[in-house]
Amino acid sequence: MAPTVRALVALLYATAAATVAVELLNLAYAPDREFGLAVRTGWAVLRAFGFLILVWHVRRGRAGAKPLGLILAVTTVFAVGRLIVPRSGVPPLAGAIGFAVLTALCLAVVVLLYRAPVVGAHLVRHPNRLVIDRRGIGWQESVPRRPPVAGWTLTARVAAFTYPALIAVPALVALGEGGLRRLPFAVAWLAFAVVVGNALLPIAIFLVRDRGWARVALVVVTVVVLAVDLPLCYLLLGLDGLVRDGGPLLVAAAVAVWGVARSRATAGVRLPAPRAEAPIPDTVP
């Protein structure tokens, strides 16, 4: 790997470690270690595994590393930021410093992924698939026959796949803190997360096939998710829950819609085919 790619891998490891450290630090300084804080902290810590998965993609030069890194960086900043600020008062100095360091690391990850030419030239490979040929059975890189998928399309797809988890986290908080009166609403909220996840599967498949209806369907699902989730956050968890749990979902939805808009603007645009060069004669007269 090139030195820039190795630097990106080291940066991703550092970001994963910083995510866990900041969350544990915030949990130690929290005045009330309630159920909601434990659920939100657990979800934020799981993002460290997301950065390790991103390392796997970068090492193998996968093109999908860019949108995955963008979504991980953006949502991590918001997921950790919502826990640094307490319900009352100011955040502890150690937590604020840790959050600033984590934000700088996430920003550096995005800059390297999208602005470093060496990294862009490295992230061009496609996933492997099982093939059978004369040599037997083995794994080979599966180069799609369709035109290359636009980067903003992949970004919108990855952002949409975060919806079920961002819906399930506040639903679990409401399930643990709401009591028996709110139990049916919390269970229905969790069921809604499952429905959204199943609805996104066919949309994501046809989104990368550049189908116009899939882009429209993703926007419709995004609007429905916001129309259901944000009011539930406010009604069941209050203004604090709306900010802590609705904020990251709103950011993911904005990234998804922006990705759909950019991919629609570039739909149908194809690179010109390279000109055929004149054959070189075998002998020079």
Residue 229 is assigned to a structural domain of this protein: yes
Residues 163 and 122 in one domain: no
- Span of 149-158, 195-204, 269-278 with lowest mean pLDDT: 269-278
Residue 241 is assigned to a structural domain of this protein: yes
Structure confidence by residue, pLDDT tens digits, 30-59: 666 667 777 777 777 788 888 999 999 999
Please say whether the beta carbons of 113 and 66 come within 8 A. yes
Please say whether the beta carbons of 246 and 229 come within 8 A. yes
How is residue 67 written in tokens? 């949108």
Structure confidence by residue, pLDDT tens digits, 89-100: 666 777 788 888
Q: How far apart are CA 210 and CA 117, in angstroms?
A: 26
In terms of average pLDDT, the best of 3-12, 121-130, 168-177, 242-251 is 3-12
Instruction: Give the residue numbers spanning the domain of 161.
Output: 148-266
Residues 13 and 96 in one domain: yes
Structure confidence by residue, pLDDT tens digits, 223-233: 999 999 999 99
141, β-bridge pairs: 128
Residues 79 and 182 in one domain: no
* Residue predicted with more confidence, 107 or 67: 107
Residue 283 is assigned to a structural domain of this protein: no
Mean pLDDT of 178-184: 76
Mean pLDDT of 259-281: 54
Predicted TM-score (pTM) above 0.75:
no
Residues 179 and 110 in one domain: no
Mean pLDDT of 253-274: 69
Provide the pLDDT confidence category of residue 164 given band limits of 50, 70 and 90.
very high
The pLDDT of residue 81 is above 80: no
Number of domains observed in the structure of the chain: 2
140, β-bridge pairs: 129
Residues 88 and 28 in one domain: yes
Check residue 188 and give its pLDDT. 92
Residue 64 is assigned to a structural domain of this protein: yes
The pLDDT of residue 106 is above 80: yes
pLDDT above 90 covers what percent of the chain? 29
Residue 244 is assigned to a structural domain of this protein: yes
How is residue 214 written in tokens? 């899939």
Provide the pLDDT confidence category of residue 75 given band limits of 50, 70 and 90.
confident
Residue 282 is assigned to a structural domain of this protein: no
Alpha-helical regions (H) of the chain: 3-29, 35-59, 65-84, 93-115, 117-122, 151-160, 163-177, 183-207, 212-241, 247-265
Check residue 23 and give its pLDDT. 80
Provide the pLDDT confidence category of residue 85 given band limits of 50, 70 and 90.
low
Residues 76 and 36 in one domain: yes
Residue 198 is assigned to a structural domain of this protein: yes
How many angstroms from the chain centroid is the CA of residue 24? 22
The residue out of 61, 95, 127 marking a domain boundary is 127
Mean pLDDT of 159-179: 86
- What is the average pLDDT score of the chain? 80
Contacts of 268 (CB under 8 A, 6+ apart): none
Residue 90 is assigned to a structural domain of this protein: yes
